[in-house]
Structure 1
Amino acid sequence: MTAQDAPTTAARTAVITGASSGIGAATARQLAAAGFQVVVTARRKDRVEALAAELTAAGHRATAYPLDITDRAAVDAFAASLDRCDVLVNNAGGALGADPVATGDPEDWRRMYETNVIGTLHITQALLPALTAGGDGTVVVLSSTAGHGTYEGGAGYVAAKHAEHVLAETLRLEIVGTPVRVIEVAPGLVKTEEFATTRFRGDTEKAARVYAGVAEPLTADDVADTVTWAVTRPSHVNIDLLVVRPRAQASNTKLHREQ
């Protein structure tokens, strides 16, 4: 299939994982507005059903499917339920803790790896046949700048995101020549309603300190806009890696904070 023969977004389905809040929900809204039929998945049934209802009420095509991507049997059942899949946005993930290597909880590391890496592997494997069969598929991996640099107190999350980056990079090598492209979007400092709070186990004061003095961190909409732009490039154009940070952030360890 050539770029000219590729179906319009009106005939295409995008699956978004981790769509119950933050970047996932924002991406679902923007892809729906771009004309995709969106399938929103996450563990929180009430959240994804409310999002699908919101989008449907706005005149978009949306369905909800509660899903834990660490459960392979559930992922396979989900894949079998779809008529087609043209875009997969691997957004589900997250961070737990900010402990040094010497005292980090191995269970936190395990949970982060299971969600960020194995979960991404599960659903990508399950949907790759459909993405290929459609003749113009796109796999998006929402990694992080943590997957491209290190910082103190972040080793568990950094290790998981490095692995997710390598998964995307290796998949791109392995499926070159097929009608599926692999896009990695690596956000820097993004302020969402849950990410930092979850990382610090509900400690809102610690979460707030992550963004203290930063006038304009990225928003979920900023990242969703980036994903939507990358996905809607002509079929022959692949955005291998797009790093997006707020202007105040020069690296994982260099952040301008106003006094």
Structure 2
Amino acid sequence: MSSCNGFEVPRHVAIIMDGNGRWAKARRLPRSEGHRRGFEAARRVVEAASELGIGYLTLYAFSVENWARPSWEVRALMEMLEEFLRSHRSELVEKNIRLEAIGRLTDLPPAVRRELEETREATSKSTGLTVVLALSYGGRVEIVEAARSLAVEIEAGMLRAEEIDETLFRQKLYTAGYPDPDLLIRTSGEKRISNFLLWQIAYTELYVSPTLWPDFGPEEFLAALQDYAQRQRRFGRVLQNG
């Protein structure tokens, strides 16, 4: 962890960015406008996380379930993502921010995969904040794919079942190489996990903000971090002071 404004900030923050549609509906705007404002909110939070010295920021950008949305909405989201990656690539490099992605990335349209790969390559030498986009991501799918990978190794005689432990299983997850989130923020007031990082958040602190994602900014982000700083993380243990 690093210190900011007199309190410790978490090493890894994950965010379920929720509320774009409701934000647009409340203003009698098309859902696409809510998503556009949601991308702007993501940019603000990424910049704030970088300035605060946070090491990792994982954003739940598109779930495997989101493919079932109307085709026009999916297409609009993919086009916005493609443009976001292209237009902000140089800014990420300038701010020393590295971009990564997790999920079933082969599900993404070729144009998005191309922009994603080019942005990952352009920012690969950055040493500041790592932004991880969860795209076509599902926690259950991730766990099933990890189990399938281990099963293949057992069938090939490369691994024995009794050798499987949490450390080995973790290495088969999309997030291998990243620390587990210290703090998970969900916006819009909803109190559910929505199939996000199911393995990784076993001992993650949860924070629910009533703010719809397009209105979420540095002030709301800082409030979540300050709330986190006041908590005592036990990881199943009993602390000596209580």
- Structure 1 length as normaliser, TM-score? 0.36
Q: Which has the higher contact order (CA 8 A, sep 6+)?
A: 2
Structure number with greater Rg is 2
- Structure 2 length as normaliser, TM-score? 0.38
